[in-house]
Structure formats: C-alpha cells, structure tokens
Structure 1
Amino acid sequence: MSDTITILAAKLAEDTMKVMDETGQDRFYVEVGDVLGAASQSLEEAFLTEIRVRLAERKARQFLIKRLSDHRSKVKAIEKQ
C-alpha cells in the first residue's frame, strides 16, 4: 500500500471519528466507506482498517479505565475499614 493511501486513510479516519463523536452517529464511518468505495477501493480498505483500529483501541482503553477505577474503589473501601 502506498504511503499516500496510508496517510490519507489515517487523516480521513481521524476526521470521521471526530464527526462521529460530535454527532453521536457511531456508524457514520460506514457511509464514508461507501463513498470511498465508489471512487477507490484501495482507499476504502485502508480507511476501514484505520477506523477499526481506532474503534478497537477506544474500546480497550475504556475497559482499562473501568478496570482501574473499579480496583481503586475496592482499595479505598478496604482502607476505610
């Protein structure tokens, strides 16, 4: 895959995630992918990969934050005893 496609896909994914966050449309990236697919299948594939990676990272980060928060709550409860 060319550097141009990778760079464009990453930037488009970043911008798409911002729109999704602001509008609350969590499947907006599918629509963007459809538009890309009509023009460039290579860019569509790279874009969807970038989106999936970002969504997976976001989900994992939320899991980590929750787990650490739960742990800290348990520690505080034990310390109060």
Structure 2
Amino acid sequence: MGITEDLADALARDVIAAAEKLGDDEVISEVSEALGASSTTTQEAFLTMVRVRLAEQRARRLLDERLRQGSRK
C-alpha cells in the first residue's frame, strides 16, 4: 500500500479499538470529519479501511459461530 493507505489503515485500527473500548462508534465519525477538514483523500482511505476491517470482524464472528454450531452436531 501507499503511505496514505498505510496511515489510514493504522488510524482505522486505532479508532476501531478506541470505539470498542469506549463503547461509542461515534468516535469513528468524529475522526473521519476531522480528517475530511484537512484531507478528503485521507478521509476516504480511512473510511475504506474502517469498512474493510469491520466487515472482516463480522465475517470472522459468523465463521466462528458456524464452526461452533458445526462442532455440536
């Protein structure tokens, strides 16, 4: 990845972790808005990384659940 994507991905990881720790997903939007005020390119990369990481988390939870269900049969 390029520097923009690398930085956006690192920030996305940190913000997702902060949102989970705080129990407040609004922090993702707040950080996004702050990025957008100075760099829409970085904001777009950040939001893409957030969506990708959250989708991956949901998919892993689904897979884990299916594996637990399968092992009970």
TM-score by length of 2: 0.92
State the superposition RMSD in angstroms.
1.3
* Alpha-carbon distance between aligned partners in 2 of 1:73 and 1:28, rounded to the nearest angstrom: 38
Query: Which portions of structure 1, spanning 4 or more consecutive aligned residues, are displaced by more than 3 angstroms?
Result: none
Q: State the structure with bigger RCO (CA 8 A, min sep 6), 1 or 2.
A: 2
Deviations 1:19-78 (A, max 9, x none): 01111112421111011101100000000000000000000000000011011122xxxx
The alignment covers a number of residue pairs equal to 73
Identical-pair percentage: 41
Q: Unpaired segments of 5 or more residues in structure 2?
A: none
Q: Unpaired segments of 5 or more residues in structure 1?
A: 75-81
1:9-48 alignment, distance < 5 Å: 9-48=8-47
TM-score by length of 1: 0.83
2:50 aligned with 1:51: yes
